[in-house]
Structure formats: structure tokens, C-alpha cells
Chains A and B, each alone.
Chain A
Amino acid sequence: MAKTPLQFRHNGRDVALFVDGGTNLLVVLREMLGDVTPKFGCGQGGCGACTVLIDGDAHLSCLTLAEAVEGRAVETLDGIKSGPTLHPLQRAFADGFAAQCGYCTPGMLMAAKALLDKIPQPSREQVVEAISGNICRCTGYEPIINAVLAAAASLRASA
């Protein structure tokens, strides 16, 4: 099968590889680039565990054809820390007990980051809307919503 060359920016680093036609971005990230922070949950856009940012917008990597990110910037949970320092969202999720099994957490964090990057001081309703495509089966959504709001508050305090 003919392979297609693909170049994009992965967490600030340029990558180049060859992909089979029909390969989705989740497979490229996990199997080819070894970035296992996006998770497979359903493969059909129903759960949000595979959420990544493409040019700053939240996208489901399981439904994104790899070739569609040619020349674009892809950001995953692996890229949001700055050195050893947690991103305020990561800090808030940890402090607020907003993870139990942890499997939805990478997708939640990326959906939340897409929100805060655009709307630094969201309302509760905007937070709910932003994570409405992400399913959590353990903790319930309240601690997650509270953590996003707490992260927004800490970003404001440090601004």
C-alpha cells in the first residue's frame, strides 16, 4: 500500500513520517510517535479520551485522518507541562481530586486547555459545554468542573 509523507508539529517539535492511507491521528501519535497520552476509548467520537489540540482547537484524534494535520500544530497532554512544573490545569485536577481511574483525564485536560486558552475566565456553563464531549465514568463531573474553574482562578492570580 502506498504511503503518504506527513509533516506536522507535535508539541513544538517538527515530525515527519510516512503513513498508510486511512490512518487516524490517534494511531500516529500512539503507535508511531510513542506519545501514549491520548487514549483510545471508542474509536467513534463518543468518549473524548483521545482529545488533542490542533492549532489550538480541541479535536478527536480517533476521527481525524492523519493527513489532515499536514503542516499544522498538534498538542497533547505530553506537551503542556513546562519542564518539571505542572500546568495550572494539571495542578488543579490533582488538588481537586478530579481524577480517579485517570483514563479520561488526558482528554479532559486538553478540552479544558482549549477552553482556557480562548476564554481565560469562563463561566461554569462554558466549562460544562467545553467538556461535554468527554465522558468520565468514575469521579463524576463536579470535581472536574471545579478544577477547571480553580485553574482559571489561579491563572488570573498569576497573570
Chain B
Amino acid sequence: MLELRKDIFADERDDNLNEVGKGTQRQDMLGHVTGTSTYFNDHKLQGMLHLRVVRSTQPHARLRRIDTSEAERSEGVRRVIRGADVPRNLNTLLSLINFGKDDEPTLAVDKVRYRGEPIVAVVAESPRAAAEAAAKVRIDYETLPAVFDVEEALKPGAPVVNETYPKNAFTYHERYDHQKLRFGDVERGFAGADHVLEQRYQMSPIEHAPVETNGSIAAPDTNGRYVVYTSTQALFFSLDTCAKILDLPSNTFHFIGGTVGGGFGGKVDTLTEPLAILAAMLTGRPVRYVLGREEEMQFGPPRGAERIYIKDGVMRDGRIVARQIRGYFDSGAYTRLSSYAVVKCAAHLPGPYTIPNVHGDIYCVYTNRTPATAMRGFGITGMDFALECQMDKLAHLIGMDPMEFRILNAYRDGDMKAHRREAKNTALIECVQVAAEKAKWPIREEFRRMSSRKDGGGARAAVPSTPREPASARPAPAQQRTSYDRRLPISPSSEPPPPQSPAPAPAHGATRFSSVFGTRRR
């Protein structure tokens, strides 16, 4: 059960917490246990139509011909929607914060880039009529070579997955194909180390598998507005995304949500709302678009796979003196949020340890796999899996207890982190000590007495001299609008943001960041 260790850092807070540590009932619990919590799909509207999407059976193919004539004549069909019907077919989720280029169509037009990609939407009187009509859509594919491996995708001559990023890597600041972290000199660190250990880690994509699948219901409201019941985890994010794709002011939409049948990150991608609303606009009827379980698994975005190489230099006494990391995030066919996960990952290196020489290169890579998205600490958790496996191997290599090894290398208050922020409010040492205690794992007295508040800073607060690398960052070739998905709106807001040099963060940034964890009095 819940246990608060108020003895740790006891002098740093007033023990006047009113809620923390006490069980407070959820405000929606009564609805949950009586089955009266209203999920999006619990709304039944008069005259509701049902939308079903025809999806790519190919991981990578040109669309030679899409024949919907038989589907249109199918019983109960009210409308067939193609890419040309979507006002602004091409979008990227983070364009709302001016990050990245529009690279993903709502409905594929000239090419498909992963198996399960939406191509045609069929709107009919019943789910059965929609499914029967969808089966009558004929699609003529010209199969293209596909790439499923992140490192293969970066090799010269690899199939171009997404023409918006012709080198199969997301482009940062208009020119860089990866995120770079440099702190000290890893080569010197390796040269002086007693042992060097290099390992490769691979994690698989992970499907969130919420018990409620993604979906939404859109209905014409009064005054030309549309009411949208949705499973989204990100109500206003989805609303603004729909406003962009449908090229309408955001106050056209009244989004109703909040009761979500499990999300875990898999319901932030605005998968269903744009088509549901568009279908309601084109038919004048309420439209429901809900993913089946198979669609949720195939088309619903997973946590992306990551391939990680870690090379560490370690001394016989247990100190890690250098850590070099190369990471490849598999974004799938489109960007979604992986570009951001990579930034987060680079900021997390080298994990919660103080290491004087750190070198990181992290890539956001396009492959012909289902686009990846957010999931519970994405960008961090996959890397931590690799880092902590590596920590165990290093401890084994030098014959040290893995708990003591972590305590020895843990960052402490006042240490300089590799991304040049001072470590504050650190607590890893105490966490490991308590974990060892709970697991009845013996650790030596000297490690039991170590503290996050002692022996940090000083020489550990210095930014080591960091050799500059030869100007390796060739400007990427000017990105061209893809010849595919031609029906592009040209508007100022869709232009890529101007290049920004990463300015050093103001001092208050660090303070604000740490305020997330509460202020520790010093």
C-alpha cells in the first residue's frame, strides 16, 4: 500500500499536506461503478450514419487507380470520401506549435506509406452497409520497395518513405538530421578507462490497447456548428487540428470529451475526428467513426520502437568516465510526435548519473511502419530500459554490487548535467537506498550513508572542455513539397518556421523546470 517516507528530506518541507498521502475518491467513480459514465460511443443520435475507412493493404505503394463506383452504388451508402474532398489533406500534428512540416494526409492520394493507411472513407446507413461497401472499393497498387529497419532507412539508396523528408530523417532547425549532445570528450574518457563496454539494445513497438478503441461521433449543430463526441485525450489539440484540416475557424466545433476509456498516449493523434466531421458536413447527418479492434492494433499508433547503442568507459573503482549513445527512434511513416520524443530523449542523456564525458546522437527515422506516437514517458522510458540494462552489465563487469554502483554514479545536488543545467532536488541515491531496504538487499554502510545532498557540486559542477567537431552538419537539401498529395493548401501558417539557433536557456528556465517537483529549501 501507499507509504510516504516523510523521514527523507524531512527538514525541507512543512508537514502540512492536506491531500497527498490520503485516499481521495475520484469524482467519476460513482459513474464508473454504475455504468453511467458517458463515453463518446454512448451517444445515440437520430439518423446517425456510420463511417468505415478503406485501408492500405501494402506497406509502400503508389496508388495507380482508386475505383469507388461500385461502392457508391452499394445499398445504404450516403457518401464516399476521397483525399480530394479533404480541405487541407496534409498535416503534421505539431504544426500547431510550428514544429515540423506537414507530411501526413488524412486520406492517401497518390501513395501509401504503411499498411493500414486510410485511403477512402465510406459513409453508410449502418455499420454493415459501410463494411459491405468498403469491400467494394477497388484499389490498384504499384508496390514499392519498403524499408522497416531504422538503420537501413538511413543508408544511401534506401527507399524514400516520406517525400517531405527525403533522407528518411526528421530535419531539426531546417538542417540537422538528428539531435546532438556533446559534453566533455568521450574519446579521451574511453582512452583512460579501465574497461569499455559497447552494447546494442532494441525495443519493440508497444500498442496501448485501451479497452475502448479510438473513435468519435460528429453531428451538425445549430448555427452551422458541429458537435463532436470524442475519445480524444487531448480535446483542444484535436479541435485545433480539425480546424486546420477542415480549414474552418475552431469555434465551428464544439468538442465534448474527457471520459476516455483508456488512452495511455494512444488517443492524442486526432485519428477519427477530421473524417467524422467532414462526413457530417457532406451528409448533413450525425456520423460515427469508431475503430474496430483490428484497426486499433494495425492503424492505431504504438509507442515507437527504438534501437540504442551504448558505449561506456568505466573505472575499476566503479566510476563511469565516458558514455556514448546512438539512438534511432522508429517514427513509422509519418512524424506525429516522434520528433519531440527525440528532443526529450537527448535532454535525458546520460540518465540520472553524473558522467564527465557524454556524447549523444539521436535520430527520428521514417520507415514503412505504422506511425508511432506518445506513450507513457515516450522518449525517456525506452532509453532508460537500455541505460539500466547497461548499468547492470557494467556493475557485473567490474564486480560491483548493482545498487551500490548506481548510488556511486548517481547525480547529486549541484552537479552539472550533460545538457548544462545544474542538478537540483536530486533523490536517486535515496530511492536506491529505500529500494534496497525494501528488497532486503544488503548494501554496505558507506553506501547507506551517501546522500543526494552531500559531495555534489564543486569539480562536479564544471562544464568540461568540449572539443568542437569539424563542421559536419551539411545543410540538408532544401526540402521539397512532395509530388504526392498534391492538393496542398498554400497558406502562411503552413510555412515551416524560420530556423532558430538554440539559445542558451535563461536562468529562470531551470527554476521553473524544477518547480514541477517542488522547491527544495537549501
Main secondary structure, interface of A, reads loop
When distances are taken between beta carbons in the complex, the residues of chain B under 8 Å from A83 are: none
When distances are taken between beta carbons in the complex, the residues of chain B under 8 Å from A94 are: 25, 29-30, 32-33
Evaluate contact between B33 and A99: CB separation under 8 angstroms.
Answer: yes
- Which stretch, B108-116, B203-211, B273-281, touches the partner chain A? B203-211
B12 interface contact, C-beta 8 A: no
Query: With the chains together, A37 CA to B208 CA distance in Å?
Result: 23
Evaluate contact between B33 and A90: CB separation under 8 angstroms.
Answer: yes
Q: Which residue of A lies closest to B127 (CB)?
A: A27
Decide yes or no: A103 and B212 within 8 Å by CB, A77-B34, A86-B33 being known contacts.
yes
Evaluate contact between A43 and B39: CB separation under 8 angstroms.
Answer: no
A40 interface contact, C-beta 8 A: yes
When distances are taken between beta carbons in the complex, the residues of chain A under 8 Å from B208 are: 137
Chain B interface size, as a band, is 20 to 34
Q: How far is the CB of A116 from chain B (nearest CB, A)?
A: 15
Query: With the chains together, A44 CA to B163 CA distance in Å?
Result: 38
Decide yes or no: A103 and B210 within 8 Å by CB, A39-B39, A109-B33, A138-B262 being known contacts.
yes
Query: With the chains together, A94 CA to B260 CA distance in Å?
Result: 18
Q: How far is the CB of A104 from chain B (nearest CB, A)?
A: 5
Q: Which of B36, B211, B290 contacts A137 (CB 8 A)?
A: B211
Q: Which residue of B lies closest to A37 (CB)?
A: B35
Evaluate contact between B34 and A40: CB separation under 8 angstroms.
Answer: no
Interface residues of A in 18-71 (CB under 8 A from B): 31, 34, 36-37, 39-44, 46-47, 49
Evaluate contact between B32 and A102: CB separation under 8 angstroms.
Answer: yes
Evaluate contact between A93 and B41: CB separation under 8 angstroms.
Answer: no
Query: With the chains together, A136 CA to B210 CA distance in Å?
Result: 8
Interface residues of A in 91-125 (CB under 8 A from B): 91, 93-94, 97, 99, 101-106, 109
B445 interface contact, C-beta 8 A: no
Q: Which residue of A lies closest to B212 (CB)?
A: A103
Q: How far is the CB of B211 from chain A (nearest CB, A)?
A: 5
Decide yes or no: A101 and B25 within 8 Å by CB, A46-B293, A90-B34, A94-B30 being known contacts.
no
Q: How far is the CB of B400 from chain A (nearest CB, A)?
A: 34
Evaluate contact between A136 and B211: CB separation under 8 angstroms.
Answer: yes
A81 interface contact, C-beta 8 A: yes
Evaluate contact between A101 and B212: CB separation under 8 angstroms.
Answer: yes
Query: With the chains together, A77 CA to B35 CA distance in Å?
Result: 6
Q: How far is the CB of B135 from chain A (nearest CB, A)?
A: 16
Query: With the chains together, A49 CA to B182 CA distance in Å?
Result: 50
B351 interface contact, C-beta 8 A: no
Q: Which residue of B lies closest to A138 (CB)?
A: B262
Evaluate contact between A101 and B293: CB separation under 8 angstroms.
Answer: no
When distances are taken between beta carbons in the complex, the residues of chain B under 8 Å from A77 are: 34-35
A78 interface contact, C-beta 8 A: yes
B440 interface contact, C-beta 8 A: no
Query: With the chains together, A21 CA to B293 CA distance in Å?
Result: 23
Q: Which of B34, B210, B260, B263 contacts A86 (CB 8 A)?
A: B34
Evaluate contact between A103 and B293: CB separation under 8 angstroms.
Answer: no
Q: Mark B211-233, 1 if CB is under 8 A from A, else 0.
A: 11100000000000000000000
When distances are taken between beta carbons in the complex, the residues of chain A under 8 Å from B29 are: 94, 97, 99
Evaluate contact between A41 and B212: CB separation under 8 angstroms.
Answer: yes
Q: How far is the CB of A149 from chain B (nearest CB, A)?
A: 15
When distances are taken between beta carbons in the complex, the residues of chain B under 8 Å from A150 are: none
10 A-B pairs with least C-beta separation? A102-B32, A103-B261, A37-B35, A42-B293, A77-B35, A90-B33, A99-B32, A36-B42, A106-B35, A41-B211
14 contacts between A and B (CB under 8 A): A36-B41, A36-B42, A39-B39, A40-B213, A41-B211, A47-B293, A81-B34, A90-B33, A99-B33, A101-B263, A102-B33, A103-B261, A103-B262, A136-B211
Other than the given A47-B211, A105-B32, 16 more pairs (CB < 8 A) read: A34-B44, A36-B35, A39-B212, A43-B293, A44-B293, A86-B33, A94-B30, A94-B32, A101-B260, A102-B259, A103-B210, A103-B261, A135-B211, A136-B211, A137-B262, A137-B264
